[in-house]
Structure 1
Amino acid sequence: MTTYSGPARLILVDGTRVAGMASLSTHQRGGLNGWGGTFRPDQASTDLRNATDGLQLELPYEQFGTVAVTGVRKFLATQVLMSLAGEGPAPF
């Protein structure tokens, strides 16, 4: 298993870049390789809360991965924690 935990930017369909922190890992299930984890944006907006598919996650050193949001939950009083499922090769 490979992991990444640190700064990241979620790029919405309209090109908006949202800074935050990501915690990601690779996993294997029945011979299928995949990756996913969570993203905690620095600031949550309505557009961000409604984001689902066609998103990009940018990690340092211009590493990109395609992700889909599988869930959003409140985290502390003013923040959200987004669950992500990666598509294609992991960017870390």
Structure 2
Amino acid sequence: MTTYSGPARLILVDGTPVAGMASLSTNQRGGLNGWGGTFRPDQASAELREAGEGLQVELPYEQFGTVAVTGTRKLLATQMLMSLVGQGPAPF
């Protein structure tokens, strides 16, 4: 299993970058190759709550991966945690 945890940007469909922290890992269970994890934006917004597919996650050193949001939940009054599933090769 390969993992990445640290700063990242989520690029919305309209190209808007959202800074935050990502915790991502690959999973290779039962012959299934994939990756996913969570993203905690620095600031929550209505656009993020409505985000779905076709997003990009950008890691340091210009590494990009395509992701879809599978769920969101509130952490505190002003914070949210987004569950992501990767599509294609992992960028880490």
Bin of the TM-score, shorter chain as denominator length: over 0.9
Q: Which residue of 2 aligns with 1:45?
A: 45
Question: Alignment length, in residue pairs?
Answer: 92
Following superposition, the deviation at residue 28 of structure 1 comes to: 1.2
C-alpha deviation, 1:38, in angstroms: 0.2
Q: Deviations for 1:21-79, whole angstroms, at most 9, x for unmatched residues?
A: 00000001321100000000000110111000000000000000000000000012210
Q: Aligned partners of 2:63 and 2:13: how far apart in 1? A: 18
TM-score normalised to structure 1 length: 0.98
* 2-structure distance, mates of 1:75, 1:81: 7
| Alpha-carbon distance between aligned partners in 1 of 2:49 and 2:72, rounded to the nearest angstrom | 7
Q: Which amino acid aligns with 1:76?
A: L
Q: Can you give the 5+ residue segments of structure 1 that lack an aligned partner in the other structure?
A: none
Q: Look up the equivalent residue of 2:27 and give its one-letter code.
A: H
The corresponding residue for 1:18 is: 18
| Aligned twin of 1:9 | 9
In structure 1, the partner of 2:71 is: 71
Listed as ranges, the gaps of 5+ residues in structure 2 are none
Amino acid at match of 1:68: A
Aligned residue number for residue 81 of structure 1 = 81
TM-score (norm 2): 0.98
Q: Give me the whole-angstrom Cα distance separating, in 2, the residues matched to 1:49 and 1:60.
A: 24
Which residue of the partner structure matches residue 27 of structure 1? Answer: 27
| Cα RMSD for the two superposed structures | 0.6
